[in-house]
Chains A and B, each alone.
Chain A
Amino acid sequence: MTSVEATPSVGSHDPGLLLQVEGVDKSFPGVKALEGMRFDLRKGEVLGLVGENGAGKSTLMKLLTGIYSREAGEFWLQGRPLVVHNPKEAQEAGLSIIHQELNLVSHLSVAENIWLGREPVSGGFFTRPGEQVRRTRDLLARLGMALDPKAVVSSLSVAQQQMVEIAKALSFEATKVLIMDEPTAALNDAEVDQLHELIRRFITPETGVVYISHRMAELKRIADRITVIRDGHYIDTMPMADTSMDQVIAKMVGRAINTAARPENVRTDRPVTLSVTGLSTKTLLNDVSFELYRGEVLGFAGLMGAGRTEVARALVGADPITAGHITLNGTPVTISSPAHAASLGIGYLSEDRKRLGLMLQLPVSHNIAISSLSGRFSRSLFVNDKAVKATAEESRKLLSIKTPSVNQLVKYLSGGNQQKTIIARWLVKDCDILIFDEPTRGIDVGAKEEIYQLLNKLAEQGKSIIMISSELPEILRMSHRVIVMADGHITGTLPAQDATQETIMRLATHRDATTATTTITEEAGH
């Protein structure tokens, strides 16, 4: 399987276009990822690229940036044939990409990551860390990002890491085409607005952006045209202005989706299953108290760094707490580790699927079964492989995970399908309380709705679900109640009927209560 070098077929390319892609094929063992794929990017535009999970979007972008080699097809940049063999060449040609998966070196700092491979040096050898930090500070200030250049990446949240990726991509001077593969999957509305502002500033008559996203409302705001692909095939391209999102979705999934649904089975007379009082951690959380009812979907909303993930991690014993009590079904408990939490029937799905969720080198079946191995799938110490396979197969059907087989290594799945795999893990585990942190990150509109219905069914069966999400439509679609956090505090709790984008955002940016406490603690500290 050698790659066919692009020999430009004369006449079919248009120098007026920024980027043109024609007849691209790509297959992997057992999967035809792309077939006759094409699209074009005009100068000065933002092109939205949509398609279901596993449609081939990321593969296409990896071909463009020289990560994979194509089997057939041609690329033109500004009318000239584009042949790249590796990401560095792509970068030099003017293609910059933000990948769907975070690609930062986690033990290096923000500054070191941004300039990795392009470090400022003196005498051709000695690094100049001071200069590097200064440049980073300038860059971040220019982009309006509140990040510390010296912060180690592993200490940042996924959203912050995403911001670093964005800053890195925008730090290349020569970039003409900026490719963003789901840049906002981990961001909330305010951060998305900030990103869109950056994109608008990046766009000149000579540049363009390819913007991949599953969030329809966002595409409506930022994209000029939208290209739909399905199962590796090109479907259509439409101007955004006179296309409705429902039309796009119908083209994408081949059927209509009800995007206006609201929470189901909301009731106020449910018994309390989990009660948390005065939860605090060394770094962020301060006196967090709330109750979770049986059969409830409890939404957690807030801005980046508000402390939602920290609540989840503290709750399952992944991070130490400095104060606070947890009562589970009326019994006080001290949860020492996620393993302990799991034994109490509390499952936690992390927001960071690559780093904290998946065993990338292992098969889909293992990734689904891991949490349930020592109950359901084993007798004394022996693992029942047949049951593992059978259950994985069931999950694959239930969540329509796109993979040639459950024996496939999970790293070869598309981002959305990887996410479905972790969701399957927790659906199989049969916990009483599920804490889902950004559960639908990277999942397409059709599959999202299916997952919502599954979660509603679980709630109906008496399971309780805490759903942390940066996506307000998701919070509004699912939550029986919404808890809003800011700066490590709970700033308010909204019943479903009072929860709207506005009420949530007001609480999320609510400063009064927080500033008051911050001053007090500061004074106490001195």
Chain B
Amino acid sequence: MSSEPTAAAPAAPTVVKGGSWRERVQQLMALAGLLLIFLVFSVASPQIFPGYSNVTTILFSTTVVGLLALAATLVIISSGIDLSVGTAMTLSAVMSATFIVNWHLPVWLGIIATILFGGLIGLINGFNVAILGLPPFIATLAMMLVAQGLALVISNARPIYFDTTEHAGYIWLSTGSIIPGTRFPNAVLVLALAAVVAFVLLNKTLLGRYDISIGSNEEATALSGINTKKWLMIIYAVAGLFVGLAAIMISARLGSAQPATGAGYELQAIAAVVIGGTSLSGGKGTIVGTVIGALIIAVINNGLQILSVRQEWQNVILGLVILVVVYIDQARAKRAATT
């Protein structure tokens, strides 16, 4: 999954300057940062940290935040923000359990319905932003509260458990392993696949092109003859699909839908996006960066746990990492702009 040079699209025949070049430096920096942090922890805990099983654990724990971060990337590039991804995931997970456990839908159908349900939440966000013209922060903040409330209402504020035998297939999706004899969790493969899909969407399709264009200058994009409202709705809806997928992964991992969790994930997702070099003012961002950003967060959390640093300090350190990374990134951008 960490095949990095994916960004090397067919290079221009003549001089390669400006955007693409700078973007590549940025990704290399993020990757170097990831390796550096990994190295530090490996030195601090040479027995446990770099081992196969721990690396697998890190990758596994990246899944949920990673999927949400993919969703957030698409939205942030359009110069929007999505604060609802965390609780929308919770609500979708509750819906998944409702479909499969309470309504006895076949697992495959429940999965499709859950992903679509995530997309529906995204579509509503998109409608509120594009058609009603609400600021994305407000629209998705409202959705964050609504989703949290609905998750509790629908589940009667109680976890809904999947049946380990009846719904074994569902749980297998996250914790099982399709590669025989490796115990390498499927969830990681799901994230990898989702990242590839997001990469293709962003770099090869109209959706990505319009996303970036809207983020760079929405009004100019509209005057270029693009139906920006329609595309914004599509962008939020597609982001919602990734949230729906995250809902399946988290509930499969836990074997249950936990209606009281979810809040806080949106900030981790946004942090991953930002660490990955996507600009919060829109118009630029990469999927590879976001994946690296999510990995950095997972590595830090895992490393600190192994070193038995208290949970509270983990957040402090993560906060500092965000400050440093974004500062370095901006300082470089500024230097590039004035020389």
What residues make up the interface of A, taking CB atoms closer than 8 Å to B? 1, 29-30, 67-69, 316, 318, 337-343, 347-348, 350, 355-363, 366, 370-371, 373-374, 378, 381-383, 385-386, 389, 404-409, 412, 425, 429
Q: Please tell me which stretch of B60-68, B160-168, B207-215, B294-302 contacts chain A, meaning at least 4 of its Cβ atoms lie within 8 angstroms of it.
A: B207-215
> Is there a chain A Cβ closer than 8 Å to B181's Cβ?
no
Q: How large is the interface on B (under 10, 10 to 19, 20 to 34, 35 or more residues)?
A: 35 or more
Bits for B1-39, please: 1 = Cβ < 8 Å to A, else 0. 000000001101011111110000000000000000000
Bits for B220-254, please: 1 = Cβ < 8 Å to A, else 0. 11111111111000000000000000000000000
On chain A, the residues within 8 Å of B262 by CB distance are none
On chain A, the residues within 8 Å of B207 by CB distance are 381
**Which of B17, B208, B216, B225 is A360 in contact with, Cβ under 8 Å?**
B216
Contact A409 B18 (CB under 8 A): yes
Contact A341 B225 (CB under 8 A): yes
Question: What secondary structure prevails in chain B residues at the interface with A?
Answer: helix
A429–B225 Cα distance when bound, in Å, is: 10
A200–B223 Cα distance when bound, in Å, is: 39
Contact A407 B16 (CB under 8 A): yes
A389–B20 Cα distance when bound, in Å, is: 14
A347–B224 Cα distance when bound, in Å, is: 8
**Which of B15, B208, B338 is A68 in contact with, Cβ under 8 Å?**
B338
A355–B20 Cα distance when bound, in Å, is: 24
Contact A339 B18 (CB under 8 A): no
Contact A404 B17 (CB under 8 A): yes
**Which of B9, B219, B225, B284 is A339 in contact with, Cβ under 8 Å?**
B225
Contact A370 B16 (CB under 8 A): no
Most central of B9, B212, B225 by chain A CB within 10 Å: B225
Distance of A421 from chain B, by nearest CB (Å): 12
Question: Who on chain B is nearest to A347 by CB?
Answer: B225
Most central of B15, B217, B227 by chain A CB within 10 Å: B217
Contact B206 A348 (CB under 8 A): no
Contact B206 A374 (CB under 8 A): yes
**8 A-B pairs with C-beta separation under 8 A:** A30-B17, A360-B216, A361-B216, A362-B216, A363-B19, A366-B209, A383-B204, A407-B19
A366–B208 Cα distance when bound, in Å, is: 12
> Is there a chain A Cβ closer than 8 Å to B339's Cβ?
yes
- Give 20 A-B pairs besides A359-B212, A381-B206, A383-B205 with Cβ atoms closer than 8 angstroms: A1-B339, A30-B15, A316-B223, A337-B227, A337-B229, A338-B224, A339-B225, A350-B220, A357-B220, A358-B220, A363-B18, A371-B226, A381-B205, A385-B10, A405-B12, A405-B14, A407-B16, A407-B19, A408-B17, A409-B19
Contact B223 A362 (CB under 8 A): no
Contact B216 A407 (CB under 8 A): no
On chain B, the residues within 8 Å of A341 by CB distance are 225
Distance of A379 from chain B, by nearest CB (Å): 10
Distance of B203 from chain A, by nearest CB (Å): 9
A373–B206 Cα distance when bound, in Å, is: 7
On chain A, the residues within 8 Å of B9 by CB distance are 385
Question: Who on chain A is nearest to B217 by CB?
Answer: A359
> Is there a chain A Cβ closer than 8 Å to B283's Cβ?
yes
Question: Who on chain B is nearest to A359 by CB?
Answer: B216
Question: Who on chain B is nearest to A411 by CB?
Answer: B337
On chain A, the residues within 8 Å of B229 by CB distance are 337
A126–B277 Cα distance when bound, in Å, is: 39
A13–B315 Cα distance when bound, in Å, is: 61
Distance of A29 from chain B, by nearest CB (Å): 5
**Which of B12, B205, B223 is A338 in contact with, Cβ under 8 Å?**
B223
Contact A407 B12 (CB under 8 A): yes
A408–B204 Cα distance when bound, in Å, is: 19
Contact B222 A337 (CB under 8 A): yes
Contact A360 B217 (CB under 8 A): yes
Contact B12 A425 (CB under 8 A): no
Question: Who on chain A is nearest to B336 by CB?
Answer: A29
Contact A362 B283 (CB under 8 A): yes
Contact A405 B15 (CB under 8 A): yes
A386–B12 Cα distance when bound, in Å, is: 9
A348–B223 Cα distance when bound, in Å, is: 7
A443–B133 Cα distance when bound, in Å, is: 36
A363–B15 Cα distance when bound, in Å, is: 13
Contact A338 B206 (CB under 8 A): no
A343–B225 Cα distance when bound, in Å, is: 8
**5 nearest interchain CB pairs?**
A342-B225, A339-B227, A359-B216, A381-B205, A371-B224
Contact B217 A386 (CB under 8 A): no
Contact B14 A361 (CB under 8 A): no
**Which of A1, A370, A412 is B221 in contact with, Cβ under 8 Å?**
A370
Contact A361 B10 (CB under 8 A): no
A343–B18 Cα distance when bound, in Å, is: 33
On chain A, the residues within 8 Å of B213 by CB distance are 359, 362, 366, 370
On chain A, the residues within 8 Å of B16 by CB distance are 405, 407
On chain B, the residues within 8 Å of A404 by CB distance are 15, 17
On chain B, the residues within 8 Å of A373 by CB distance are 206, 209-210, 226
Contact A383 B209 (CB under 8 A): yes
Contact B20 A407 (CB under 8 A): yes
Distance of B99 from chain A, by nearest CB (Å): 29
